[in-house]
Chains A and B, each alone.
Chain A
Amino acid sequence: QKEVEQNSGPLSVPEGAIASLNCTYSDRGSQSFFWYRQYSGKSPELIMSIYSNGDKEDGRFTAQLNKASQYVSLLIRDSQPSDSATYLCAVYNTNAGKSTFGDGTTLTVKP
C-alpha cells in the first residue's frame, strides 16, 4: 500500500462544475496535509493546507480532512479551464520527518 494514494484520474469536468479530488494516507499519525497544483512544465504551487478535521475554504477551493478515515479531499467550485493541471496531495509523516506526495490527479476542465 502506498503511503499516499490519489484517485487515478485523469478527471474531466465541464466548466462551471465542481471538481472533487481525493487522497488517502496510511500513517495515522500524520498531522499536516497539503494540496499543490502543478501546471505542465512548471513547479508545484501550494494552494491549500489543512491541519485539523473539517473543512477549510479559500475562494473556490475547499479542503476537507477526516483523520479517522485517513482521508483528505479538495473541492474546486465553478471550475475554470485555467484550473486544468495536476493536483498533488502531500502528507507530512511525523515519524519520518518528511512529506510524502501522492502520484497526482490530472484535472481537465472543458469549456
Chain B
Amino acid sequence: DTEVTQTPKHLVMGMTNKKSLKCEQHMGHRAMYWYKQKAKKPPELMFVYSYEKLSINESVPSRFSPECPNSSLLNLHLHALQPEDSALYLCASSQSPGGNEQFFGPGTRLTVL
C-alpha cells in the first residue's frame, strides 16, 4: 500500500461546529504532516509529527488541534473556525523526518460558512 488516504473529501461546517479530519497511511512512515493550501498558493505547513510526537507547530491558531493516535493515523480537530479557514487541507507522510520525500493524500476541501 503506497498511498495516503484522507476523509472526508469535502466538508462544510458552520463556525460553531466541531469536526475532525482524518488521515491514514500504511507505508510504515514515521513522520506525518498537516498542510493548508489556499487557491493558487503553495502548501503551508501547519504541524509535523515525528515518531508520533508533535515536533513542529507553525504557530497555528488553537482552533486547529492535531492528534496522532498511532503511527498510521493523524487527525486534525476543528472547532470554532472562521470563514478564512476555508481551504484544501493536505496530509502527507515521509519515511522519517529530516528531508525525506513526502507523499500527499488527496486532501479535504473545507468550507466554513
Chain A contacts to B: CB under 8 angstroms: 31-32, 34, 36, 42-46, 49, 88, 90, 92, 94, 97-99, 101-104
Interchain Cβ contacts under 8 Å between A and B, 24 examples: A42-B106, A43-B88, A43-B90, A43-B104, A43-B105, A43-B106, A43-B107, A44-B104, A45-B104, A46-B101, A49-B101, A88-B42, A90-B102, A92-B99, A94-B99, A97-B55, A97-B97, A97-B98, A98-B45, A99-B45, A99-B99, A102-B42, A103-B41, A104-B42
Q: Which residues from chain B contact A88 at a C-beta distance below 8 Å?
A: 42-43
A32 B42 Cβ-Cβ under 8 A: no
Q: Is B48 an interface residue (CB 8 A)?
A: yes
Chain B interface residue number, banded: 20 to 34
